[in-house]
Structure 1
């Protein structure tokens, strides 16, 4: 019985879903890393060897980039957290990163739980450049899961 080989998905066709915020498109999104710390453990009866055990899990930051437009949603969300803190009502939002195949079918979904802006920045102003201005939002989160 032959197994069907599938090509890896390409990272250029994706969408970002943010609860309560409607945004046309992002040009770049990073999938945060997941790191499990290790704790060295030595049993009392073993005088020579220690073994690693799993410790706390930490999650990297989600970075979203898009062309700067009239839309104020990302900036306003950042300001809400800046002025009221991440514990304010509506400050933490669930986000989904959805990777699609060439036909536009959803293939991979990462759900980011309780994300909030920790950094907002734009590219600089430069009179000798014709490049598009980009706004970047860096987000902290409680955790993420890959559900598809």
Structure 2
């Protein structure tokens, strides 16, 4: 017998939707967030052979790296992306860089359709490696939303196990 997909909600058979999410930076949800790239880690495979067994290659885990995360936000007056990017690289030079505040722990919340937090992940020691302040502008496209982006380098992530499956009504 298979394990239940949703232990607290036996009625549920559908997985969570990818459009119901929230990213929290400095304790505040990012306004107008459109998209976030995947959370992905890769562990290098280290191949080796034992001296007495040269015909069989063995594989063991090596170093782990974490893929950068990109956030896309609709173009608004919310300065969260710009302010964070300016802590890393400022037009006023290195003296304007904030060595104390440029790294941040951020939170990704997966929400159910009722808007309740169903799962939560923490990204550790993230910093902005790329910032796109403005999109391409094209007078021929009336129905396009302006998007700004940041790319975050980070030192890993983990699921917040204190967040449990909410009971749905």
- Kindly tell me the number of residue pairs found equivalent between the two proteins: 148
- 1:116 is displaced (CA, Å) by 0.5
Structure 1 residue ranges without an equivalent (≥5): none
Q: RMSD in angstroms over aligned alpha carbons?
A: 2.3
Q: Distance in 2 between matches of 1:18 and 1:51?
A: 43
Q: Distance in 2 between matches of 1:72 and 1:106?
A: 25
Indicate the SS of the match to 1:80.
Answer: helix
Pick one of 20, 29, 38 that aligns with 2:36: 29
1:129 matched to 2:141? The reply is yes
Indicate the SS of the match to 2:151.
Answer: strand
1:141 matched to 2:157? The reply is no
Change (3 A) 1:59 1:78: same
Q: Distance in 2 between matches of 1:21 and 1:102?
A: 21
Q: Distance in 2 between matches of 1:86 and 1:76?
A: 11
| Contact map agreement 1:38 1:55 (CA 8 A) in 2 | yes
Structure 2 residue ranges without an equivalent (≥5): 5-9, 162-169
- 1:72 is displaced (CA, Å) by 2.1
Q: Distance in 1 between matches of 2:56 and 2:29?
A: 55
Match of 1:95 in 2: 106
Using structure 2 for the length normalisation, give the TM-score.
Answer: 0.78
| Contact map agreement 1:98 1:108 (CA 8 A) in 2 | yes
